[in-house]
Structure 1
Amino acid sequence: MSVENTATENSAALTDAGITPDKKTFLQSLTEDWWAVILGSIIIATVLFLTNNGSAIALPAYKWSGSEDLFNKILSPGNLLLILETGVVFLALASIAIALSGGNVGRFAAGFALIYLLANIAFIIGGNKSVSYYGLEYVVFALLIGILLGNLIKLPSWLKEAVRSEFYIKTGLVILGTTILSADLIKAGLPGIIQAVIVVSAVWFFSLWLSRKLKVDDEFGIILASAVSICGVSAAIVAAGAINGDKKKLSYVTTLVLIMAIPMMVILPWAVRYFQIPEVIGGAWLGGTLDTTATVTAAGDLVGPIAVKAGVIAKFSQNVFIGVAAFFIAIWWAYRKPATQDGEIPVTKVKSPGLKIVWERFPKFVLGFIGASLVFSFLLSPATAKGVGPTLNGLRTIWFAIAFISIGMEAKFSSLVKLQGGRPAFTFVIAQIFNIFWTLLWSYILFGGYLFPIPDFK
């Protein structure tokens, strides 16, 4: 479900309930980003409280090597009860956000239950020792399951209500902030920022140039270029909002991002291992090319913990460009877009942008990520941070698995060849290939010890 459709449906639901925009409470006015920060913070605080008071938090087990392991460990009554209890807690937390956002909690609960079940199936398949040996993790199976359902059947309305990939990803990312400590950010801060500036700028202008060469209109080209160069769906939404872009074009680019991410998440980590690319360079490469922090994290997991840290740092260095991009794109479009087309059709002018639009476009979940990182870096002892790490990492992984099932359901192959003869899709693929090789070059230069000391994330 796209952010726009969700917002429209939520607004309609509030109206049906007699709650007009001017009557909404503070909680009802909160965006998806803020709810991700709230839920992530609740989870982190709860884990810290229980751990500090000596209460161990048990999470389901998914690792197994044979049929005996499968039935006696994974499918044992005790583990199945843990899976059920974890799902109930996640559903309760998510339902609070859905209810106060004007969503249909009943339909959401039914859809969430199915998505959570499918996520656990992906965990179990990916948890097999023989499967994981080949580098196939739960991410791959979650995406495949979602894609099969999303493209082979028409999703019922009760299931669509729960297909909220961005919401799940953002909540998981807030929790992920607990593992990215400021000491690590300082180690790779300057190389990450320089890589972000070089990669974002070059890839954005190359993508727009290619769009024009292939006769893709500028509105489409800007949304597409922002998605490829910065951070996928979020950047596409920002760019479309900054220029009052066509929602159909935004949906199209979103589909491209989701579909392109699938092979890249598998092929790029394989390439890092096959070509023996140093882990820190491989992580920076993943962070600069994959379009969301969630996919960077998942792909980095296939390489190693150093790759995860380097990748997330590189990706968040790019994410800070979201607000900046919205500001400059809006300014450029305000002057670039004529008041009329062909002297006849009026075109809505974009308002002069200011700091307000930067704040409105900036993804608030990033604040939750940074806040969690600061708390775990400076307010907690290293022993405490290390002690709750495995639990928080397990909870974050569950949010991501639910998100990847949803991402697969949202990816529609049929629409890619219909709009403008498939030229935007071809543009996106070529721009992404350029992005892959360009980022690899600068990852070697900046993280390979040529200009700066090689960051040590051990």
Structure 2
Amino acid sequence: MSTNTYARKRALQNEDWWAAWLGLFIFGLGLGPYFGMDLLGWVTKASVWIEPAKAFAPVSKGTGLNGFTSLLVTFLFILAITTLAAKFVGSNIKKYVIGFSIIFWVTMGCIMLGNIAYIGATPDKTASYGIGWSLGLGEMGYIIAMVVGLIIGNFFIKQADFLKEAAKPELFIKIGIVVLGASIAIKTLDAFGLATTIIIRGLCAVVEAYLIYWPVVYLIARKFFKFTPEWAAPLASGISICGVSAAIATGSAIRARPVIPVILSAVIIVFVALELLLLPWLAQAFLFKDPMVAGAWMGLAVKSDGGAIASGAITDSLIRGRALRELGINWEEGWILMVATTTKVFIDIFIGVWAFILAIIWSVFPIDKNAATNSGQKNKVSASDIWDRFPKFIIGFVLTFLVLFLVGMNNPEGVKALNTGVNEGNAFRTIFFGLCFFSIGLVTNVRKLWAEGMGRIVAIYGIALFGFILWFGLFISWLFYHGITPPTV
């Protein structure tokens, strides 16, 4: 067998390559609106709901499909493409098809439960649903999926063993991350239409903050809580960069066990809910004369895209209201939210950059005991060794970002059409993330998991977030945005 033939065979058997290919395939279909074709309008999108019939609906309203039909078509599509990957990586196809079908419908049920308005609606949206309160846990569906997976995996052992053939958490999450690249690109294109000052200051703030955040959290995890690098690196990324996505991307880049970023994600989501409930009101109380500082603080401090943007929207409303009452200033709506969103965009871009850097470092240096040599010196690795270890899904992530960004820069009038396709692809990302969370729960042994130190994870997160990240983020926000105010009405 020739070298090229052997390499192609290995690629076809590599789950990482399949994640890149399938993510790029979905991305390619998502480009349809740019060429006048809506190829993914039928994909289902989960929404916050009061009426169950509105829990799912096709992304495009012009398809003529109802919510259940779009959900069924989405299921068949994902089943087809993932079964193709399962066949080449050596899975039992019959078990995979049956197991995946069960996993998909259970996961979608969990996402639906997590989107009940009393659970998933952010505080700024409760009135639109006719309710007086909400927990504001917009990503709770993932946690429910993981809990259900844990129950099945630990109490229904026989059924769990059958489903494990289809529980492919790494494949699912990596496909989702590849698709995420397009979403970040479209946000970046939107950000370039904002004031140049905001963009430059936002980029500087992010770089300065996170080059300090990450090593400090990593040091705390390693030196004081004695976590291994396999735990400490995703933990540092999750706390420092952008919550769930950063923890998962880092875990994949360093080839950590897939259970690690998901456990970290569960802790992150809980803390995001606390921040969402606390920070906008702190900003209103102390930063209503410095609105742009407040917006940047939301972007730097709240560790999820949805949470940061929701907190930015709440802060925008609260601060403008107080400024009008007490200062007699009527600032234009949306500028505080814009700063929070722009800051978050650059943080999202940082995910891919940092995952790339860590993948190289973990390939070349003996970071953990598996990479270390007996002498404790640097590993002697060839270029092919680095290539073999390098997570291929990052290639897909970078390609989706660059292609969409360059197309949008070359043709700004086409950004609206690109945005339509990105929204359709993003619906797939939500589903693949949910499938990953359920699968992780399914294959997780709780007793072993607790032995790894869940209590220490919560302790590190609390110390890092409330000990210095919130306050240093506030200082960085003040440093770059102090004295800048929105235009007045």
What's the TM-score, normalizing by structure 1? 0.71
Cα distance, 1:358–1:39 mapped onto 2, change above 3 Å: same
What amino acid maps onto 1:40 in structure 2?
G
Aligned-pair distance for 1:193? 2.5
Q: 1:137-176 to 2 correspondence within 5 Å?
A: 139-151=139-151, 152-154=155-157, 156-176=160-180
Partner of 1:414: 447
What amino acid maps onto 1:232 in structure 2?
A
Determine if the alignment matches structure 1 residue 282 to structure 2 residue 292.
no
User: Which stretches of structure 1, 4 residues or more, deviate above 6 A after TM superposition?
Assistant: 71-74, 334-340, 347-350, 451-456
Cα distance, 1:170–1:87 mapped onto 2, change above 3 Å: same
Partners of 2:67 and 2:73 lie apart in 1 by 10
Partners of 1:363 and 1:455 lie apart in 2 by 43
Cα distance, 1:273–1:298 mapped onto 2, change above 3 Å: same
Cα distance, 1:195–1:364 mapped onto 2, change above 3 Å: farther
Partners of 2:205 and 2:161 lie apart in 1 by 46
Partner of 1:18: none
Cα distance, 1:90–1:385 mapped onto 2, change above 3 Å: farther
Partners of 1:308 and 1:395 lie apart in 2 by 20
Partner of 2:330: none
What amino acid maps onto 1:189 in structure 2?
L
Partner of 1:244: none
Q: 1:33-432 to 2 correspondence within 5 Å?
A: 33-49=16-32, 52-55=35-38, 57-60=41-44, 62-63=46-47, 67=51, 78-131=66-119, 132=121, 133=126, 134=134, 136=136, 139-151=139-151, 152-154=155-157, 156-181=160-185, 182-183=188-189, 184=191, 187=200, 188-211=202-225, 216=226, 220-230=227-237, 231-236=246-251, 250=257, 253-254=260-261, 256-276=263-283, 278-287=294-303, 296-300=304-308, 302-303=310-311, 307=340, 310-311=343-344, 313-325=346-358, 331=365, 351-353=379-381, 359-380=387-408, 381-411=411-441, 412=444, 413-418=446-451, 424-432=453-461
Equivalent position SS for 1:378: helix
What amino acid maps onto 1:382 in structure 2?
P
- Residue by residue, what CA displacement relative to the aligned partner does 1:403-429 show, whole Å, maximum 9, x if unpaired? 23432452444324435xxxx444433
Equivalent position SS for 1:275: helix
Partners of 1:84 and 1:165 lie apart in 2 by 22
Partners of 2:379 and 2:52 lie apart in 1 by 65
Aligned-pair distance for 1:101? 2.2
Equivalent position SS for 2:302: helix
What amino acid maps onto 2:42 in structure 1?
A
Cα distance, 1:195–1:116 mapped onto 2, change above 3 Å: same
Q: Is the 8 A contact 2:49 2:116 kept in 1?
A: yes
- Residue by residue, what CA displacement relative to the aligned partner does 1:78-118 show, whole Å, maximum 9, x if unpaired? 33211111111122122222222222333222222223213
- Residue by residue, what CA displacement relative to the aligned partner does 1:128-152 show, whole Å, maximum 9, x if unpaired? 4454232546630232133133234
Partners of 2:425 and 2:412 lie apart in 1 by 20
Partner of 2:471: 441
Cα distance, 1:273–1:158 mapped onto 2, change above 3 Å: farther
Cα distance, 1:179–1:145 mapped onto 2, change above 3 Å: closer
Q: What number of residue pairs does the alignment pair up?
A: 402
What amino acid maps onto 2:380 in structure 1?
S
What amino acid maps onto 1:112 in structure 2?
F
- Residue by residue, what CA displacement relative to the aligned partner does 1:200-221 show, whole Å, maximum 9, x if unpaired? 111112222103xxxx4xxx53
- Residue by residue, what CA displacement relative to the aligned partner does 1:175-203 show, whole Å, maximum 9, x if unpaired? 22223234548644333222221111111
Cα distance, 1:442–1:331 mapped onto 2, change above 3 Å: same
What amino acid maps onto 2:139 in structure 1?
V
Q: Is the 8 A contact 1:165 1:404 kept in 2?
A: no
Equivalent position SS for 1:103: coil
Aligned-pair distance for 1:332? 5.8
Partners of 2:48 and 2:437 lie apart in 1 by 26
Cα distance, 1:98–1:273 mapped onto 2, change above 3 Å: farther
CA RMSD of aligned residues (A): 4.2
Cα distance, 1:312–1:355 mapped onto 2, change above 3 Å: farther
- Structure 2 gaps of 5+ residues are 59-63, 127-133, 193-198, 238-245, 285-293, 314-336
What's the TM-score, normalizing by structure 2? 0.67
Q: Is the 8 A contact 2:45 2:56 kept in 1?
A: no
Partner of 1:16: none
- Residue by residue, what CA displacement relative to the aligned partner does 1:368-405 show, whole Å, maximum 9, x if unpaired? 33322222222243343322424532442343234234
Q: Is the 8 A contact 1:204 1:225 kept in 2?
A: yes
- Structure 1 gaps of 5+ residues are 1-20, 242-249, 288-295, 341-346
